[in-house]
Structure 1
Amino acid sequence: MSIAMTMRCLRVAAICAGSAVTIGACAHPPETPEARAEYDQANDPAEPTNRVIFRGNKFVDDNALQPVARAYQEHLPNRAQKTVHNFASNLDQPAVALNDVLQGNFGRSWNTIQRFVINTTAGGLGLFDVATDWDRPGHRADFGQTLGVWGVGPGPSVQLPLFGPSNVRDSIGTVVDLVGNPTNFIPGGVFVAVGVAAEAAGMVDGRARTLGVTDSLEKESLDYYAVMRSAAAQRREALVDEGKAAK
């Protein structure tokens, strides 16, 4: 089994484990009216379990991902950071185009395909975002959004090991995205190695881009877990609304 496939299998296993634990913990909602009202409002029936996973995720983030992301942000020139971001984003474009089609957003899919072709060729294998300069701006799309566009509700909150706050719908979507990404089916050891490197670079780049927000939220919030849960839910709701509006 290749390194890339092993990594994807581990990520899928983490998602499935987190979802299964959360769903299993949903069997015992609070009995008092006040606690039940709060429980229903947060849509987090497995909150005690989710908080445990959240603390584990935060430990990994504080001691592994954040130090790397801060070093990346502080020592790598902005132009180089932009190049890393462009390269990692370009490899996501086939999956974005596929989800655009599944959502019925064919115009967006065609735009995404053009972006991928332009940036892979004129943009030096995606190192430069030439397509945006040529009036073909990028956007995000994934299978969790696709399910939401077609009316699937988010379901209970889920705290995924290593992935952070999510919900049942988007957890399923993440598994489908990991397994069904069109780039997974391109043969060749060099491409696999590049894909693994791009995933790692994209993770570090993405974390570096959110450091300012998370630092502020952690410093100012009384309950960091609840704030992050709410922020993730709002972000995903906005993404689904965007997909619906584009139809």
Structure 2
Amino acid sequence: MPTFKPAPLCARTSLVIALAALASGCTTTPAATSGSCDSATYTVHDPVEPINRGIFAFNRTVDDYALAPVARGYLKLPEVFQTGVHNFVANFGEPKVFINDLLQGNAQRSVTTLGRFVINSTAGIVGLIDVSGKLGIERHEADFGQTFGVWNIAPGPIVELPLLGTANLRDATGKVVSFAVDPFGDNSSTVETLGTINTAGGIVDGRAQALPLTDELKTQADYYSALRDATAQRRADFVAQGKLGAVVSDCQSGEMADE
């Protein structure tokens, strides 16, 4: 019976280089212009605001006494550690970005995402180092809420989710779908461990990234409405970027910290 021999190192290296070349060739689309960061129009429909405010009060308590303090402590850690966590979380999420790129019908962005994931998972040591970024292959984000928006599904009313924060119904549904979709499966204890690390790291890193903005919003007279409206604006911009098929690294992320 013939025995299986792993591909030579040079062959695997050549594959990574080929993916890098292919991905870098697809990082810029005609739609990725400077105008792709312009603010999109949005509306806020909050018919059950009193209930949402009650859940928001609970979420803010959890944030004030748990998430935000941990995030502030995280920011005091060495920058190299923070960068590694951020890169790992971003890389672990690439398969879901890839799925949404495909669902949005954007072949160029899907190739970019796949190339980034392969390169960073190998040469970047499971994503701890953003080798793709150093090669000029820009990262973009995509999620199911954005995909539903690209499909022209209406945002729907505002929903304040316990522990998950403010979202319109479209994005809230996207979050639920995201929890249900697991590109890695659960057949490997190693993948399960990495998934746990990703979840914990993603919560802390994401909250830390949002601290400057939420600290600013807390100075406004009504923090609930300020955060709700800012979230609605960011998500409208995020959907607009998805419709353009833009790869814009310096635009705001589609996500916001949940209080």
- With structure 2 as the length reference, what TM-score do the two structures score? 0.77
Give the residue type in structure 2 aligned to 1:234: Q
- CA-CA distance at 1:216 after TM superposition: 1.5
Alpha-carbon distance in structure 1 between the residues aligned to 2:167 and 2:224: 12
Residue 144 of structure 2 is matched in structure 1 by 143
Residue 135 of structure 2 is matched in structure 1 by 134
Residue 60 of structure 2 is matched in structure 1 by 58
Give the residue type in structure 1 aligned to 2:209: R
Give the residue type in structure 2 aligned to 1:154: P
1:244 matched to 2:243? yes
**Deviating runs (4+, > 4 A) in structure 1?**
none
Q: Is the 8 A contact 1:118 1:130 kept in 2?
A: yes
Paired residues for 1:8-47 under 5 Å = 42-47=44-49
Q: Is the 8 A contact 2:44 2:232 kept in 1?
A: no
Q: Is the 8 A contact 2:145 2:175 kept in 1?
A: yes
Residue 206 of structure 2 is matched in structure 1 by 206
Alpha-carbon distance in structure 2 between the residues aligned to 1:192 and 1:182: 12
Give the residue type in structure 1 aligned to 2:173: I
- Residue deviations 1:181-226 (CA, integer Å, cap 9, x gap): 312x15211210111111101110111111111111102x110000
Q: Which runs of 5+ in 2 are unaligned?
A: 1-42, 247-259
- CA-CA distance at 1:240 after TM superposition: 0.4
Between the two proteins, the alignment pairs up a number of residues equal to 204
Q: Is the 8 A contact 1:94 1:181 kept in 2?
A: no
Q: 1:98 to 1:162 in 2, by over 3 A?
A: same
Alpha-carbon distance in structure 2 between the residues aligned to 1:212 and 1:180: 31
Q: Percent identity?
A: 49
Paired residues for 1:54-93 under 5 Å = 54-74=56-76, 76-93=77-94
Residue 38 of structure 2 is matched in structure 1 by none
Alignment partner of 1:137: what SS?
coil
Residue 223 of structure 2 is matched in structure 1 by 224
Give the residue type in structure 1 aligned to 2:228: R
Question: What is the CA RMSD across the aligned residues, in angstroms?
Answer: 1.1
- With structure 1 as the length reference, what TM-score do the two structures score? 0.80
Alignment partner of 2:167: what SS?
strand
Q: Which has the higher contact order (CA 8 A, sep 6+)?
A: 2
Alignment partner of 2:218: what SS?
helix
Alpha-carbon distance in structure 1 between the residues aligned to 2:213 and 2:155: 24
More helix by share: 1
Give the residue type in structure 1 aligned to 2:222: D
- CA-CA distance at 1:42 after TM superposition: 3.6
